[in-house]
Structure 1
Amino acid sequence: MRSKRKIPKKLGQWLSTAICGNDITSSCLYVSAIAAFYVGALAPIVLLIVALILYFYRKIYTEVVEALPLNGGAYNCLLNSTSKFSAALAACMTILSYIATAVISAKIAVSYLHSLAPSLPMISVIIGTIIILALFATLNIIGIGESSIVAFIIFLLHISTLTTLCLFGAGRLFDGFEIFWANWANVPTGWDQLSVTLFLGVSAALLGISGFESSANFVEEQKPGVFRKTLRNMWVAIFIFNPLISFLSISLIPVSEITQNQEQLLAYMGGILAGDFLHDLIVLDAFLVLSGAVLTSYIGVTGLVRRMSIDHVLPNFLLKQNKRRGTYHRITIGFFLLCTSILLLTGGDLFSIAGVYTISFLGVMSLFALGNILLKINRKELKRTFRAGWITVLIGLCATVSGIVGNIIIDYKNLIYFLSYFVPTVLVVSIVYARIKLLKSIVYLENKLMGRIFIWQKNKTPTSVSFSLENKLLDRIFIWRSIVIDKIMDIITQEVLVFTRGGNLPKLRRAFDYIIKNEDSQKVYVVYLQGEKNDEVIKNLKADLEVLDRTYPEIDIEFICRQGSFGPEVVRQFSKEFNIPINNIFIGSPEEKHRFTIQELGGVRVIF
């Protein structure tokens, strides 16, 4: 009896919300303290402004992700709207965002535990953070991934804990607002100073919406229509809890005490409001939620780096799998080393790590808004279920770019830390991106060296010692040259396939320009599917391809015409028949008349 292929079960609204909600609501544990540090009693207002900015990004993300419902976030968005290198830059920022997420979450989790034994030296927090990072690296290598049920239980505990804290805090407000007014007395009164304070405060407090992009990274695992609901649910949680918790902390605790207890503020509040019970409950909740965010970072970066390696943006050696577990241990170990290094580089300082985190995270969001603009311009025909207005997109983009500038003004070292990791990552991507040119340069240098050795040998006797050594060197260079040439041939013989709707020379030229700039392949199949035979269309299409053949002599173009209609089954059929990965199959923008979605096509790339 033939077994049926098991179809993975899609996640509903609340399980999906739990996975990404744990990520974004974990910021409730520390963002109030960060905002209060910069703006004092204005912190609740600043966090309301941040929630307003997030409201704009709800619309930006909805348009892009529902039009291109594939995992990858900003990387996927830019990959389908502009060049592969631009998408790679977005991915580099996303990787840095994952690094900072893992480090700051592990650090805050250990800091909350440290509040149970404050007599221990702070060095134990650094060591504990490394242990947490190592533990979850091990779990990721073993193969223990994100469980939606476990995430949902943690999410319920987290929301219940935050609600309990807010209820106790609201009850304490009946005792009066003396502390609030005392804190408010320190608010700047002059407009110049007030505007600068608000600007820097909003820039720092934008950390409170980090994690909003996480739902876009697993949209393929969600049921249809769930994605925009997860964005709504995350926004509601942030809109309610961040300003409310900040208001309660400002009303109940002097700003100086908030600053002193910045790394475990909510547990400190809980101890004031309800003693050890609420204090310990918040510590447990913080540890679980923040630890979950560490695991989510490992899972997210593994998926992203794997996708980039398959797309030939990062080296293929990262795709090496553990034989027993089938996990990508090289990616996990590399990520752990990067996390540990940034922890040691910053000395575990919350504000330094938060600065790196905020710059990288805001960079990802800004690129997402930019991707939205590029989709509007370059992929006008692409089928959409929602459209964000131009004003909405531009306000969102300006807000996050201003946030990046603000974080650099707060401390220029944040930019230095960020560039210390961003530049090497981009350098690796650039090397892989230009690998054919680099490999050809190596062959050129080897040819020059071999020619020079031949010239030297003309004036020497074959029996001389130096002649023998030079022959050995020639043999070695020849072997190296052969290895490099074989590598070049392996890369350029990778084939791509383009589906076309008929003769349209400008669009076909755009498609081939994209292939020349972004792919190393020298073999392109152009496929035309027709419902009814139309000799005129085929004749025009062949004429267009002859023009392209003369325009791009370095590419071998093969035309394929078959009966049928385009759809997911046809994509899988051609992928299997020609042994071409689906991510190397390119199409034009699906229009409103098409019944299938980009997700159903399995990962094809929209290039024109």
Structure 2
Amino acid sequence: MSAKSIGESEQTDAPAEHIVTFAPQTNNDNFSTRAQLSYRAGNTVDLSVDNSPLQTEPGRQQRYLEPTLEASTLKSEDMLKTSSVPSRTPNLSNAWEFAGWGSTYFIELHSPSSKSDHSSETLLGQWRATSLSGNDLVASVLYTIAVVVATAGRYAPISLFIVSLLIYPFKNILNEVSTTLPLNGGAYNCLLNTAPKWFAAIAAAVSILDYIATAVVSAATATAYAGSYLNLGEIGIFWITIGVLCVFAGIVLLGIRDSATVALAIFLLHLCVLSILMVAGVGRWITIGNDVLSANWNESISENSALEIFYGVCIGLLGITGYETSSNYIEDQKPGVFPKTMRNMWVLVFLINAPLTLITIAIMPLNIINDHPGDIVSVLGEYAAGSWLKILVTVDAVIVLCAGVLTGFVGVSGLIERMASDHILPQFLLRRNPITGTKHFIIFGFLVCCVILYSVLKGDVTSLAGVFAVAFLSVLCMFAIGNLLLKYKRHRLYRPIKVSTGVAMFGFASVFTALIGNIVFNPSLARYFFIYFAAIYGVMIIMLNRIWILKPYPLKIVDIAFTQYYLFSQTTFFYLDKIVALHKYKIGDMIVRMIKSIKKQPVIFFTNTDDIHILNKAVLYIKNNEPTGTVKFLHLYSNIEDIPQRLEANHQILDELYPKIQIDLMFIQCPFNPETIDAISSQLDIPKSLMFISCPGENFRIGEFCGIRTIML
């Protein structure tokens, strides 16, 4: 292995303490200059050179580090690791191009803890886990019935019954995805482990929109129910809705988060109220007979019944919102609980949505239903049993819908925090409020997005529901795509629940058709959705390409079908070099510092092989998806003899092959288990979200490792 100069060694981000041994190749097989480098972060480097023969004891590391590749290129200690190609910016510094030579060293790991960080946390059982997402699910019927009746008329119960049948196979699609990769993040987490980062960012963007729509629709509907009883005008409802959003933003800002026990209590209360409502409604139906149902059936005659049912199905999928949220907290659930929560939620959809809609049409005239899109269920209570049931339903609706607002704020906080940790969103979002300890930038940003959406749509619940439906269906599409990619690109992963490819394709076709149907039915809703999506996704694209924006190269947007698309312009640093008048302001130095700051965060790739094509694929993935200039190959071993023979030699080749990336090789004598990963993350100060592995076999439970990413088959 080649020796490094002291200056170059200082370029490496060293962990707390290392002993590094360098053995450059010589023509003498018996003697080799050996340099031992001991350093601690922030201290002076002490380099000692010893020309004595290499000893086999006491350290076995020296024996391994003897040269193994005759054709390796000997690097000069005084040579910078940079390309000989002339610079595009001859007038400005190219210091950002220097990555530093990679190093090879053995690390003595601090004793890992015997238990994982999450072992002491109380995990959720079946009903508490169901209640957290079930509150959104059972609350959705409060604003879905009127919207579906307005769309499908007398066929609304049929449309919602078809929805309950369509969602059954999708239950298993979500089960396979979430139990194979049991990590918080839902569709975003799945695509992050199976697709390029820019594609995972699409799932993240639509998930954020889904949370925005959840909070806004829940707040607007809660205010509409309260307003119907308190006789508030439209202006009053508008401003009170904004006030509700601000209040819950303040609650989350103060650090008060939803409790599983409180969520369970609200969930059971809502189910009890809906049960009373349905029993009272059936009793009223028996009393009055089928006269109202017959009148409604004869009143809404259409020339195209199939189209009405289809559009009813498209918008009726709004009635299962909340179905996708359980995967966002799967790490907090007990093993085996997630499939039960999905089963419970499907049963609730089947027993509530279509039957309650049928009861509504059976006892309420269609014109009354269409006149109360925001508070239809409370009016149904009045028709079924009088004002007492209307009051009960109104109070229940306000409580459960406000819980939905809180769920939106809490859920998006966790998702955005995860995305900022993955460097898809700006790092300032992770700053904590010094008083409350909460991440206030996330909360304020989400509140602003909610208020703008509500204001742009002028508080119209029907339009808000349409935007919600598009966002929700987009998330389901991402789950279906993730499932198909999981089968193709990560088929070796352990999958406790499996669905056939045909079921996955049917699920995708169903929700994608419904998505297109919603857009065709009301194109203006798609406009609002895509404006929001473009704004959120644009921020992510800038974050993913911020080094390209600063450096003198074309800005790469995406790679699709092996074709690279670039902006037809050069970037900041290139033009700054051409404008000589700006050089005196030292803007170039500032950009160099920014680039170095962005690239200083190292990433780890765990390797158990010396196959150079696998190592190269790892570097290529990191180069295309992570804004870093330091890659650390990490090999965990039991015995020194088990280390792959050509790993060091192939590491040297890759270190020379990528002049803008410093590639280190590290060895730790430890088993590969969650405790070791926790200790490595703590000692090297590298988050587990920036630790990568190739796809393991079926005996490996990747969910136990809490965040490491699979990046190749």
- Could you say which residue in structure 1 is the equivalent of 2:7? none
Q: Which amino acid aligns with 2:241?
A: T
How far 1:533 sits from its partner (Å)? 4.2
3-state DSSP of counterpart to 1:497:
strand
Structure 2 CA distance for aligned equivalents of residues 338 and 14 of structure 1: 32
Shift of 1:532: 4.1
Alignment partner of 1:501: what SS?
coil
- Compute the displacement of 1:549 (Å): 3.6
Moved more, 33-42 or 584-593: 584-593
Q: List aligned pairs for 1:393-408, cutoff 5 A.
A: 393-408=504-519
Residue 547 of structure 1: CA displacement?
4.6
Which of the two has greater helix per residue?
A: 1
Alpha-carbon displacement from aligned partner over 1:399-454 (angstroms, at most 9, x marks no partner): 111111111111110011111211111111111111001122333333322xx33x
Distance 2:310 2:450 in 1: 30
Instruction: State the TM-score, normalizing by the size of structure 1.
Output: 0.92
The CA deviation at 1:174 is 1.7
Q: Structure 2: how far apart are the matches of 1:52 and 1:555?
A: 52
User: Which residue number in structure 1 is paired with residue 573 of structure 2?
Assistant: 443
> Which amino acid is the alignment partner of residue 592 of structure 1?
E
How do residues 111-122 of structure 1 correspond to structure 2 at under 5 angstroms?
Answer: 111-118=224-231, 120-122=232-234
1:527 aligned to 2:668?
no
Q: Distance in 2 between matches of 1:498 and 1:262?
A: 54
Q: Distance in 1 between matches of 2:520 and 2:226?
A: 32
Residue aligned with 1:211, SS: coil
Distance apart, 1:348 and its partner CA: 0.8
Return the alpha-carbon distance in structure 1 between the equivalents of residues 495 and 336 of structure 2: 13
Q: Deviations over 1:254-274 (max 9, x none)?
A: 111111112111100111111
1:4-43 to 2 correspondences below 5 Å: 7-43=120-156
Determine the C-alpha separation between the residues in 2 that align with 1:474 and 1:61.
55
1:19 deviates by 0.8
In the other structure, the counterpart of 1:200 is 311
Q: Does 1:564 align with 2:670?
A: yes
User: Residue 345 of structure 1 is aligned with which of 435, 446, 456?
Assistant: 456
User: Which residue of 1 is the match for residue 277 of structure 2?
Assistant: 165
Asked if 1:142 is matched to 2:231, the reply is no
1:56 is aligned to 169
Distance 2:615 2:354 in 1: 52
8 Å CA contact 1:40, 1:186 repeated in 2: no
For residue 544 of structure 2, the aligned residue among 433, 438, 443 is: 433
Which amino acid in the other structure matches residue 501 of structure 1?
N
Q: Aligned equivalents of 1:98 and 1:45: distance in 2?
A: 28
* Conservation of the 8 A alpha-carbon contact between 2:257 and 2:410: yes
- Tell me if structure 1 keeps the 8 A contact 2:633–2:665: yes
User: CA contact under 8 A between 1:11 and 1:221: conserved in structure 2?
Assistant: yes
**2:617 is the counterpart of 1:514:** no
Q: Does 1:491 align with 2:608?
A: no
Match runs of 1:107-256 below 5 Å: 107-118=220-231, 120-175=232-287, 176-186=289-299, 188=301, 193-256=304-367
What one-letter code is carried by the residue in structure 2 that aligns with 1:554?
K
Residue 543 of structure 1 deviates from its aligned partner by: 4.4
Q: Does 1:281 find its partner at 2:411?
A: no
Q: Would you say the 8 A contact 2:619–2:631 is kept in 1?
A: no
Of 291-300 and 170-179, deviating more is 170-179
Distance 1:320 1:445 in 2: 33
- Say whether the 8 Å CA contact 1:271–1:277 is kept in structure 2: yes
Aligned partner of 1:553 in structure 2 is 659
Alpha carbons 2:364, 2:383 under 8 Å: kept: no
Q: Does 1:602 align with 2:709?
A: no
1:561 to partner: Cα distance = 3.2
> Is 1:307 the counterpart of 2:418 in the alignment?
yes
* C-alpha distance in 2 between matches for 1:329 and 1:389: 43
Alpha-carbon separation, structure 2, partners of 1:112 and 1:599: 42
Aligned to 2:68: none
SS in 2 for 1:71: coil
Task: Report the equivalent of 1:460.
Answer: none
Task: Report deviation, 1:189.
Answer: 6.7
Q: Any idea what the Cα deviations from partners look like across 1:287-320, whole Å, max 9, x if unmatched?
A: 0000000000000111111111111111111122
Q: Helix, strand or coil for the counterpart of 1:268?
A: helix
Q: Which runs of 5+ in 1 are unaligned?
A: 454-472
CA distance in 1, matches of 2:405, 2:640: 56
Q: TM-score, normalised by structure 2?
A: 0.78
Equivalent residue for 2:43?
none
1:386 counterpart = 2:497: yes
- Following superposition of structure 1 onto structure 2, how do residues 42-81 of structure 1 map, counting pairs within 5 Å? 42-81=155-194
The answer on whether the counterparts of 2:153 and 2:308 sit within 8 Å (CA) in structure 1 is: no
In the alignment, the residues of structure 2 paired with residue 583 and residue 348 of structure 1 have an alpha-carbon distance, to the nearest angstrom, of 39
> What amino acid sits opposite 1:29 in the alignment?
L
1:500 aligns with 2:603: no
Shift of 1:331: 1.0
- Report if the CA contact (8 A) 2:544-2:627 is conserved: no
Q: What is aligned with 2:50?
A: none
Q: Is the 8 A contact 2:221 2:401 kept in 1?
A: yes
Give the 3-state SS of the residue equivalent to 1:557 in structure 2: strand
Corresponding residue for 1:582? 688
The 1-side partners of 2:238 and 2:696 are apart by 51
SS in 2 for 1:69: coil
Please, what is the CA RMSD of the aligned residues? 1.8
> What is the Cα deviation at residue 592 of structure 1?
2.2
Contact preservation (8 Å) 2:318, 2:465: yes
Match of residue 465 from structure 1? none
2:523 corresponds to which residue? 412
Give ranges in structure 2 of 5+ residues lacking alignment.
Answer: 1-112, 552-570
Structure 2 SS opposite 1:524: strand
Q: Which residue of 1 aligns with 2:588?
A: 481
Between stretches 331-340 and 508-517, larger displacement belongs to 508-517
Could you tell me which amino acid in structure 2 is paired with residue 102 of structure 1? A
| Contact persistence 1:140–1:332 (CA under 8 A) | yes
- SS of the residue corresponding to residue 559 of structure 1 reads strand
Instruction: Name which one, 1 or 2, has greater alpha-carbon Rg.
Output: 2
Give the 3-state SS of the residue equivalent to 1:112 in structure 2: helix
The aligned amino acid for 1:136 is F
The worse-fitting range, judged by mean Cα deviation, of 163-172 and 584-593 is 584-593
CA distance in structure 2 between the aligned counterparts of 1:135 and 1:53, rounded to whole angstroms? 37
Partner of 2:635, secondary structure, is strand
Q: Give the paired residue count.
A: 577
Q: Is the Cα–Cα contact under 8 Å of residues 281 and 385 in structure 2 kept in the other structure?
A: no
Per-residue deviation, 1:100:
0.9
Single out whichever of 303-312 and 550-559 deviates more from structure 2: 550-559
SS of 2:605's equivalent in the other structure is strand
